[in-house]
Structure 1
Amino acid sequence: MEQDILNNYKQAAEAAANEAEKYKKLANTYSLLRLGIFGLMIFAIYLTITRDTFTIMAVAFVVLLFGFAWLVSRQSGYESQRDYYLDLQKINENEIAGLTNGGNLYDNGQDYSNDKHFYTSDLDVFGNNSLFHLINRAATSAGNDKLAAWLNAPADKDTILLRQEAVEEISAKNDWKVNTQTKLLFANKEDTDQMKRLFIYLSMPLNLPGEKWLSIYIKIAPYLLFGVLIVSAFYPVFTLVATAIAFFNMFILVSKGSYILKAGAVADKIGAVLANYAVVFKAIENNEWQSKRCLELNGKLQKNKTSKNIEELSKFINKLGYSLIMIVGFVLNVFFLWALKQIINIENWKRDNHTNLEEAFDVIAEFEALISIAVPAINYPEWTFPLIADTEGYTLTAKNIAHPLIRSANRVANNYELEDAYHIDIITGSNMAGKSTFLRTVGINTVLALAGAPVCASHMQVSVITIVSYMRIKDSLKESTSTFKAELDRLQMLLAAVSKDSRVFFLIDEMLRGTNSVDKYLGSKAVIEQLISKRGVGMVATHDLQIARLEDKYPAYVRNFYFDIQVQNGEMLFDYKIKHGECKTFNASLLLKQIGINVEEEE
């Protein structure tokens, strides 16, 4: 199955590369034709001078202007197609990298890392080789923020079910998903503050003096000048009138130059970006959605005609750029007051549409987050969508649950069952037998489940719970914190969460490592008993067999599980399978022996 998925991505990448090469050649051809237009313009100037008539230049410039604009449009279209297929190739190659070596061109979420968060640091949710790095396909900063927020906290049941339905629909439309990712790839390298600046620009009016009468004059100016030029062909005296009108038009542009420069400097930077986003909005709007959440999101765009409006603004901004093209810009400004006309168009657009834009871009962010959590459903079809339980007690059951960050060839699956109950599970076992990995397996799959994503299991049912972990406890020179103090701080956070937050499920790996064995046992026992008194639910992994004796004291609340090893001819064999009961076999002395240290038993 995985090989079939890989082959599909490889074929798609190869096809995209071939299309990109085709459009590259076409774009180069039209680029050469544009040079020919400049040659014809120079020839027209030569004829005007030698024949001593302005009419030749006027007619030639109009004809060649339209010819040049057509060539620019065609070349631009081919370049856009070339760039699209190059990005499509990158998107497919990225999926290949993700399936083969864990690579990903998207952000790994390191900026969202927080050692003091309930679980994200312990469960490898953010950073290199993390859950975020595995699934993230968000190119925009808003999309990254949205996905990070979903992984940072569980959603309520209704929201999870809406996301699951949306993800199932998106995963069934992989062509749409890949196409949308391709159209958004440009944003993967953009400045994270770009959208903020865009929203500020759109909400601030230019306050152009005389805008009303200028709008009227701009409409009649080209007809006036063209009419006088035609008359001048029969009555040469009108050439002076045409020249006066041209100078008057340029005077207007120069007098409003500061406003044009002010608006143009910002607009020029966002024109191409807006055009790219317009294409993305159109891809969302034109798709036929069935899932409730996708329909809701699409409805927000349809109501405000988002793609059409943003495409219109982008065109105004791009047209403004024409005025910077040497001779072409001069002609456009003389005849049409081109730069001023586009500035007024942009200001009118801002007045009518700026209030709807932030909501529209939030729609893109949510679709990016949905696309990201759909990645496992597409690339790992053996994963499953979990059932969300409504039981009074805690429910967390799973069959063949495995760690999603371990390669499929190396991961070992386990079963676990906690159904409508309140239990603390003590997990004992040898070093490297799999205790910590199992805790992280349960935790990270729960994070996926409560974000609305598929999980790495053949079946899973889980209540809406809040994970609180106690696993990677580190000292901090910066904060002058010892390991033991860091452990106490984490324990305090855990106990407070169990007392105040609803439905906390804790994952504790080897409590109180920063103290002696007697205090470690007594302290761990006291903490677990306090958690029992608070009706806390979760797992505690430990090497201390005495902790397993708590099952004798609290048989209805404490359950024992273990991971063990088999020793054959002095070699340790791990099966990484969880079993009921307490561990009887430990391996520290064998591990020490392997590095040349013999441990003698005390008499």
Structure 2
Amino acid sequence: MVKKQNRLAKEETYFKNLLWIFENEVKVIDQKGNGYNNGAGFEDENHPYLSDLDIFGKSSLFELINRCSTQNGINLLADKLAAPITKDAINLRQEAVKELAAIIDDTFKFRAILRGNDINNIEQLKAKLKHKLAKQLKFTHQPILKFYIKLLPFIMPLLIIAGVIIGGKMWSVLTLVILVHAGLTFFLTKKINEVYYGFGGTSALLADYADAIKWTEEREWKSAIIKSLFSSNDKVSRQIEKLAKIIQAFDARLNLLVGGILNFTLLWDLKCCIRLDEWHQSSISNVENGLDRIGYFEDLISVATLTYNQPNWSFPTIEDEFSFSAVELGHPLIPVKKNVHNNFNVDTKPTVDIITGSNMAGKSTFLRTVGINMVLAYAGAPVCAQKMKLSIYKILTYMRIKDSLNELTYTHPNKNSSVSYHHQ
């Protein structure tokens, strides 16, 4: 009954999360905001272009794209928007993004599983698994103790049966064994508690991560980047499910009556600690990689969702030689009805293009349009253009007065604005 109730509660949470995700996509498409992290923590006034191009923060490019529920995913996406990568890396990301965009409805399942958990949970879990657990479990490295605990499921029933049949001294032996177990459990309580309180109550969280990783394992991926995320054929989801079951068994100690009986007869807490140690030695490396994989998928799914939501955008071509040309280039953060699209080409090297026009005519917005689409291109994302090709540049902006594109105001007319692109 309890298992059924837990299963139904989990399903209810999942479908609520799924509904939230669909509703959030409608809000994003209608330009009413995004319920995911807007990346405000990455704002940096000293960065060559982040502030001027509205990359992070409220109503930013990151807010438009982000669909990550873990800190690792958020960091990976932020890194891609903060600095260009190589041509080969961009092309590989485009390939992966296109593959995920083709199954975008299915990616909602992955996102629904992760939705609602604290963004730092995975990093905290990894830190515990990698740095703390091994030290905390050293007290279980006693071969005799391990052997004895493995025999207990056979020893205790035999003692009880012997007590029933023979009586007398056998009950005394059984009582002595129980007292020894109680004493040993009490003696090791501090060490056991250190292990338990690091993971106690996390079985549901671990089950969520196992489900998310299982989603990544169930499909035969074709793109090189995604395939590279699987370091072995081992099913990491199964290893995390095994950990979740160990923690769930450990939670029996929360019921004083049940926990007491299990510890006095089977040294239950010690048994769980030994199982944790065995799991740690065999699975920790694969599980760390699996947990990291969640973030990589979130990063790519975020860009894939943007791709799906913007069918009129196009993937740029990355050139080796000095190049920049765009057809019908628009600003990705300006509403469609107010967005002005332009063609722009850079034909010679070196070159300086001067944008002229009357005050409040949109000169700085045009500069930002070019810059922010370059950021999208270098992140392996589609750009707000009918067609675009460019080589790898170092972007540097200089716009002293920060204006809000959502309010369609522009740089102060008495201040100079510039965007420079240095070919790398």
| TM-score, reference length from structure 2 | 0.90
Give the one of 44, 55, 78 matched to 1:114. Answer: 44
CA drift at 1:240: 3.7
Give the one of 342, 353, 360 matched to 2:290. Answer: 360
Distance 1:311 1:453, change over 3 A: same
Give the one of 461, 484, 493 matched to 2:389. Answer: 461
Output the CA distance in 2 between the equivalents of 1:162 and 1:241.
68
Say whether 1:326 aligns with 2:264.
no
Output the CA distance in 2 between the equivalents of 1:441 and 1:274.
43
What is the RMSD computed on CA atoms of the aligned residues?
2.6
Aligned to 2:132: 201
Deviations 1:8-63 (A, max 9, x none): xxxxxxxxxxxxxxxxxxxxxxxxxxxxxxxxxxxxxxxxxxxxxxxxxxxxxxxx
Give the one of 270, 278, 296 matched to 2:228. Answer: 296
Q: Contact 2:65–2:303 (CA<8 Å) still a contact in 1?
A: yes
Count of aligned residue pairs for this structure pair = 413
CA drift at 1:510: 8.2
Give the one of 266, 270, 284 matched to 1:336. Answer: 266
Deviates more, 1:404-413 or 1:105-114: 404-413
Give, as a single letter, the amino acid of the residue that structure 2 aligns with 1:163.
R
Give the one of 342, 357, 360 matched to 1:429. Answer: 357
Give, as a single letter, the amino acid of the residue that structure 1 aligns with 2:163.
S
Q: Contact 2:210–2:237 (CA<8 Å) still a contact in 1?
A: yes
Deviates more, 1:347-356 or 1:109-118: 347-356
Q: Contact 1:102–1:129 (CA<8 Å) still a contact in 2?
A: no
Aligned to 2:415: 513
CA drift at 1:146: 0.7
Distance 1:223 1:173, change over 3 A: same
Give the one of 185, 188, 203 matched to 1:256. Answer: 188
Aligned to 1:574: none
Aligned to 2:280: 350
Map residues 30-179 of structure 1 onto 2, 5 A cutoff.
71-179=1-109
Output the CA distance in 2 between the equivalents of 1:195 and 1:339.
21
CA drift at 1:434: 1.6
Output the CA distance in 1 between the equivalents of 2:351 and 2:76.
34
The percent of aligned pairs where both chains have the same amino acid is 38
Output the CA distance in 2 between the equivalents of 1:225 and 1:440.
75
CA drift at 1:269: 5.5
Structure possessing the higher relative contact order (Cα contacts under 8 Å, 6 or more residues apart): 2
Output the CA distance in 2 between the equivalents of 1:384 and 1:118.
26
Deviates more, 1:345-354 or 1:112-121: 345-354
Output the CA distance in 1 between the equivalents of 2:290 and 2:24.
27
Distance 1:268 1:470, change over 3 A: same
Output the CA distance in 1 between the equivalents of 2:369 and 2:286.
42
Distance 1:351 1:536, change over 3 A: closer
Aligned to 2:343: 415
Give, as a single letter, the amino acid of the residue that structure 2 aligns with 1:273.
L
Distance 1:217 1:181, change over 3 A: same
CA drift at 1:402: 0.8
Give the one of 321, 326, 330 matched to 1:398. Answer: 326
Aligned to 2:210: 278
Give the one of 373, 391, 406 matched to 2:303. Answer: 373
Output the CA distance in 2 between the equivalents of 1:384 and 1:274.
38
CA drift at 1:175: 2.4
CA drift at 1:303: 3.9
Query: Can you give the 5+ residue segments of structure 1 that lack an aligned partner in the other structure?
Result: 1-70, 475-508, 515-523, 538-603
Q: Contact 1:102–1:134 (CA<8 Å) still a contact in 2?
A: no
Distance 1:462 1:510, change over 3 A: farther
Output the CA distance in 2 between the equivalents of 1:188 and 1:259.
27
Query: Can you give the 5+ residue segments of structure 2 that lack an aligned partner in the other structure?
Result: 403-410
Aligned to 2:406: none
Deviations 1:497-525 (A, max 9, x none): xxxxxxxxxxxx789838xxxxxxxxx9x
Map residues 464-503 of structure 1 onto 2, 5 A cutoff.
464-473=392-401
Output the CA distance in 2 between the equivalents of 1:429 and 1:358.
55
Deviates more, 1:181-190 or 1:258-267: 181-190
Give the one of 278, 284, 287 matched to 2:219. Answer: 287
CA drift at 1:357: 4.2
Give, as a single letter, the amino acid of the residue that structure 1 aligns with 2:149.
I
Distance 1:355 1:288, change over 3 A: closer
CA drift at 1:176: 2.5
Q: Contact 1:184–1:280 (CA<8 Å) still a contact in 2?
A: yes
Output the CA distance in 1 between the equivalents of 2:37 and 2:209.
20
Q: Contact 2:96–2:226 (CA<8 Å) still a contact in 1?
A: yes
Say whether 1:223 aligns with 2:154.
yes
CA drift at 1:342: 0.5
CA drift at 1:418: 2.0
Output the CA distance in 2 between the equivalents of 1:512 and 1:158.
42
Output the CA distance in 2 between the equivalents of 1:292 and 1:326.
52
Give, as a single letter, the amino acid of the residue that structure 2 aligns with 1:106.
Y
Q: Secondary structure at the match of 1:370?
A: helix
Aligned to 1:44: none
